[in-house]
Amino acid sequence: MKNVYSRLSGFLLGGLALSTLSIAGLASAADIPLYPSGPAQDSSFVRFVDGGSHPVEVTSAGSKARLALDAANPASHFFPIAAGKPVAGMLASGGTHQDVSATVQPGEFVSIVALDGTHAVTVREKPDDFNALKASVALYNLDARCTAPTLKVAGRDIVLLDGVAVGQGKRRQVNPVTLSVQLVCGGQAVGQALSLGTLVAGQRYTVFLVPAGAQSRIFFANDALNH
């Protein structure tokens, strides 16, 4: 995987060991779905996302291991971590650095999203809609300038997701079909339609709404677990 170190040896965040990864391991993790029962109740997960215009390097506070993210690969997979214990690291992007930390509760999926400058946003989700027959799509709203953000099915007047407060996410189940989405802000289409490809039953996807200069933009990630 481009710009990802060939091994993230014992990726540690605040002294908590995450599984050693290889390039092949990161690629194959995209095929691991989340099934109806979901993760164990005492499991917690964290991922890092590049929501800015520059590549981002994540450095573990414990081990100094590094993870690189960019426009081609903007999101890591979800790393399982111990619930209720703080994880910490540093984000570096465009010559700026920011320390980040989060405590993840049992059953939570936490995304730490790096935006341009020294700004990072933490989005928490505790999903309870696992369904092996449906795909699940979420919209994370990280751009206050997009008024009344709405995600529509591209080319059709069908609302997929709306009413998402800034810094929050909203999710719904959909049929596992080929899907493209269009961002609408204040009733006006913004940017080009975004293809999510063919959704897979039992898998989950997140569309991120982030600032992009004078406008807004969206990109997506498969919410795969790292094993």
Q: What is the pLDDT of residues 93-126, one digit of tens each?
A: 888 889 999 999 999 999 999 998 768 999 999 9
Tell me, what DSSP letter sits at residue 10? T
Name the band, by pLDDT with cuts 50, 70 and 90, for residue 16: very low
Name the DSSP class of 32: -
CA atoms within 13 A on the CB side of 57: 13
* Predicted pLDDT at 62: 73
Write down the pLDDT at residue 20. Answer: 28
User: Which own/partner contact pairs does 124-128 have at CB distance under 8 Å and 24+ positions apart?
Assistant: 125/169, 125/171, 127/38, 127/171, 127/204, 128/38
54/226: higher pLDDT = 54
Beta-bridge partners for 1: none
Q: Is the pLDDT of residue 75 over 80?
A: yes
For residue 82, what pLDDT is reported?
86
Q: Which residues contact 214 (CB under 8 A, 6 or more apart)?
A: none
> Taking a C-beta distance cutoff of 8 angstroms, is the pair 201, 134 a contact?
yes
Give the other-Cβ count within 10 Å of 135's Cβ. 22
What pLDDT score was predicted for residue 227? Answer: 65
Residues 136-168: tens digit of each pLDDT? 999 999 999 999 999 999 999 999 999 999 999
Q: What is the DSSP letter of 176?
A: S
Q: What is the reported pTM?
A: 0.82
pLDDT score of 11 more than 70: no
Residues 39 and 223 sit within 8 Å (Cβ to Cβ) = no
A 10 A CB-CB count for 178 gives: 9
d(CA 128, CA 110): 15
The length of the chain in residues reads 227
Whole-angstrom Cα distance, residue 210 to residue 82?
29
Block residue for tokens 């979420």: 138
- pLDDT tens digit sequence for 30-74: 333 333 334 555 689 999 999 999 999 999 887 777 899 999 999
Average predicted confidence (pLDDT) for the chain: 82
